[in-house]
Every structure is written in C-alpha cells, then in structure tokens.
Amino acid sequence: MTGPARPRRRLKQPREDVMAAAMATIAERGLAELTIAGIGRQVGMSSGHVLYYFGSKDELLLQTLEWSEEQLAAERRRVLGGPSAPRERLDAVIDLYLPDGRRDPRWTLWSEIWNRTTAAEDVLRRQLDLELVWHRDLVALLAEGISRGDFRPLDPERFTVRLRALLDGFGVPLVIGLPGTDRGQTLEHVKEFLDDALTPAPAG
Amino acid sequence: MTGPARPRRRLKQPREDVMAAAMATIAERGLAELTIAGIGRQVGMSSGHVLYYFGSKDELLLQTLEWSEEQLAAERRRVLGGPSAPRERLDAVIDLYLPDGRRDPRWTLWSEIWNRTTAAEDVLRRQLDLELVWHRDLVALLAEGISRGDFRPLDPERFTVRLRALLDGFGVPLVIGLPGTDRGQTLEHVKEFLDDALTPAPAG
DNA sequence: AGAGGAAATTGAGTGGCGTTCAAACTTTCC
DNA sequence: GGAAAGTTTGAACGCCACTCAATTTCCTCT
C-alpha cells in the first residue's frame, strides 16, 4: 500500500482560521470589503499564503460556505433528533434556515456564489450538494409528520421543493435588509403557509 | 491633425445603447466578463465616456435593470389588460416574471445588485420600487379574481407576498442553471401551488 | 455668421484587486 | 546530515473601475 495516510492536522487549523475570519468580516463589513490581503492580515498570513491554501478567492468563498453549512448541519441534526412534534421541529429547522438578519454571512456567501457562476459544472454540483442536505432532512421530517397524521398527506418531495423555494425567496430580502422586511414577520408568513398547506382537514 | 473629416456619428440614445449592450453581453457571456471598457467598445465609446453617463458601474447596472423592468412592465400591462380569465392572465404574468433561462440578464442583474448592496439606503429604495410594480399588479389581479369568484377568498396582499417569495426562490436556480432545474417543471410547480391555493373549494 | 460657453469625449493616469512565482525558510524522513 | 517535501513571503503582473485635464463638438445669443 502506498497510502501516505498522514493526518496533516496542521493544515486544518489555519484554514479554519481563514474561513472564520472571512465569515466575521462579511458579517461586520460586508462582502465588498472582503479582500484576500485583508483576511490574511487578520490571521497573520500574507495574501500569497491564503491563496496557497485555497487557490482562488472563489474557492475560498465556496469552501467557507461549505464549512459554515457543516456547522449548521450539526445544529440541525440536534433539532431534528429532538423529541418534539414534527411541526415544532419543522419550525425550528426553518428558523435555522432563514438568515439571522442583514448581512448574515452564510446567506451572503450563497448569494455571491450564485453570481460567480461562470458555468463551472463542478461548482454547480457542489452548490447542489449543499442544498440537498437540507432537502433530504426536510423530506424525512415531512414524511414522518405525514405518517403520524400530523400533516395532510402530500408528496413530501414536491412539497419540500416548494417550501425551499419559498424560504429562499423570503430569505433574500432579509439578507439585503430590504426596507419593510422583518425576520419576525417573515417567520409568521412562513408559518401561515405551513398552516395552510400542512394542517389536515378537520375530520368529521 | 488627423481631424476626422466627418463629425463623429452622434448616438441618438447613447444611454440606451449602453444599457442594451450590457444586457446583451450578460446574456451571451455572463456578468463576469462585463467590463466598462468592453461595453464602450461595443457601442463605440471610450470607457471614460460610459462613466460620464452613468457615474459608476453599480449605477449602470441598476439603471439597466430599471430600464429592463420598464420594458417588461409594458408587456405585463398588455397581458393584464387582456380579455382572458384572471387565472390565465396570472399564469401569463408568472411566465413573464420567471427568468427566460440560464443567464437571463434581468435576473442576473437582480442577483448582482443584491450583492453590491452595501447598505446604501437609496439603492435599496430603488430596488424596492422595482418590486412594488410587480406587487401591485399581482395584488390587483388577485383581487379581481377573488371578486369574480374565480379564486378562493384570501388576502390578496399577503398572498402576493407569498407568491413572489416562491417565484424568487424558483427563479434563482433557473438563472444560475443549477443541474436538475428546468423552466417547464418550475412552471408546473408554480401552477400546482396556485391550484392548491386559489381554487375555490368545490361547492356542494 | 461667429463668438463663447456648455456639453460631450478622449485616453492617459491612479490605485486597488486577485493572482503568480521564484526564492527562502521549515519540517519530515531516510 | 541532508535531500525532498511542504510552507511562507512579498515583489511583480495584469486587469479593472474610476479620475481628470485637455480637446472637440454643439448650442445659443447677438
């Protein structure tokens, strides 16, 4: 076996430092002021060194998003594994999904990465993979709620597509801080939608 | 010397030429390759001259989006003024709303402008104004359908917020060409949503 | 028609950015 | 100890949006 299998744990820490710095800068000052050299300054690296790790700014942004989604996935799993009713867990997952507020770095990264799409097939694939994680968890939760009779019987796959589209559409105004949008009201809107769509017809 | 024998051809509408060139370039080659100098080359202007008209690239993009939305508004008014039933007109408006396909320049501009938002209050206001045009038309159409009994009675204002969020969420994967997304299927999804939400309960 | 001011137009310059790269330094391993 | 591999630097490059002083074209008033 030629397996080097060397853990190279060394690499992990500086990369995470860089990604954490990127997230923090986006949250504090926005994407426009995020520069490679600036990130490097924050973590004590030269700009060249940052690119030695990530190859390009695009790659840095995408990996930062992936890293951020991994962390959120852990939280989501905790919520999903909880004991409460499917509907309560659904509400909690949606609360995790929607942006924290204006300039939420995770959503800002999403939005930026959409734009950079120069048709690179593998990048699109990676974006899709990130979405699928949410998708699958939502589908499973819906299926559980349906089988328990908590939710009206519907196609969980199709409904999840619809729900995610709705959430994405609601999320964007929140991240950019469009006047008149407010997280609380948005959550109410979503809940109203879920009430309309999921609540079983009152049985006679 | 070298004075041009003939006065340079004056562009009748230089600003529109620039905006049209920007839209065309986005559609053909994407936003990444859209440069001020490149646009200028297409319409026979220096880069400095383009900026003389628009002040900055951001301003050029926003004005191009506004211009593009004006044109679409004309089409929308034609559809809305048509004789067909509200539901048919609604479907037609939605067809106009959703992106043409990958790299639809209008949607690409939307997405880009979201990102550039560094909290400039007036820019946000102008984005909001663009959305309100669609919003008001949709609200009116829904109200008409409701009063005619074509649609279930519901709050047209709130429903329009929900519908636009859904459309925005469905639009993004289409513009970026996310694998597995297809305009026809998306339209079906939206129609299914409208059937679920608008169709009056079958009266006994 | 012609002068003179306003508008239009240019292109060279500026600064900042992402990215490259050769060279220098450090660690790893035989 | 020393070569190979990995790490780190910062100067250099090319590209870009944007500025600006200088020039040309247009318009208006007499």
- Mean pLDDT split into 10-residue runs, chain A, 204 residues: 35 86 96 96 96 96 97 97 96 98 94 81 93 98 97 97 98 94 97 93 62
Residues in B closer than 8 angstroms to A125, CB to CB, are 179
Chain A residues with CB-CB distance to B158 below 8 A: 189, 192
B175 to chain A, minimum CA–CA distance in Å? Answer: 9
Look-up of token digits 């030695």: A52
Average pLDDT of chain A, as a whole number: 91
Topology at the third CATH level for domain B12-55: Arc Repressor Mutant, subunit A (1.10.10)
Give the number of other Cβ atoms within 10 Å of residue B157's Cβ. 13
B5, pLDDT greater than 50: no
Q: Is the CB of B200 under 7 A from strand C?
A: no
Q: Does B118 have pLDDT greater than 90?
A: no
The CATH architecture to which A8-55 belongs is: Orthogonal Bundle (1.10)
The secondary structure of chain B in percent helix, strand, coil, rounded to multiples of 5, reads: 70, 0, 30
**Mean pLDDT within B9-32:** 86
Share of chain B above pLDDT 90, in %: 85
B128: nearest CB among A165, A169, A179: A179
* Nearest chain A Cα distance for residue B173, angstroms: 9
Q: Is the CB of A56 under 7 A from strand C?
A: yes
Q: What is the domain partition of chain B in residue ranges?
A: 12-55, 56-198
Mean pLDDT for B180-188 is 96
Q: What pLDDT, on the 0 to 100 scale, is given for residue B8?
A: 36
Asked if B55 CB < 7 A from strand C, the reply is no
pLDDT digits (tens, 9 = 90+) for B34-80: 999 999 999 999 999 999 999 999 999 999 999 999 999 999 999 99
Q: For residue B167, give both structure tokens.
A: 């459309």
Please report the DSSP string for A104-172 in residue order.
-HHHHHHHHHHHH--S-HHHHHHHHHHHHHHHHHHHHHHHHHHHTTSS----HHHHHHHHHHHHHHHHH
B56-198 under CATH 1.10.357.10, yes or no: yes
The mean pLDDT value for B179-187 works out to 96
A178–B30: do the CB atoms touch at under 8 Å?
A: no
Contact A166 B165 (CB under 8 A): yes
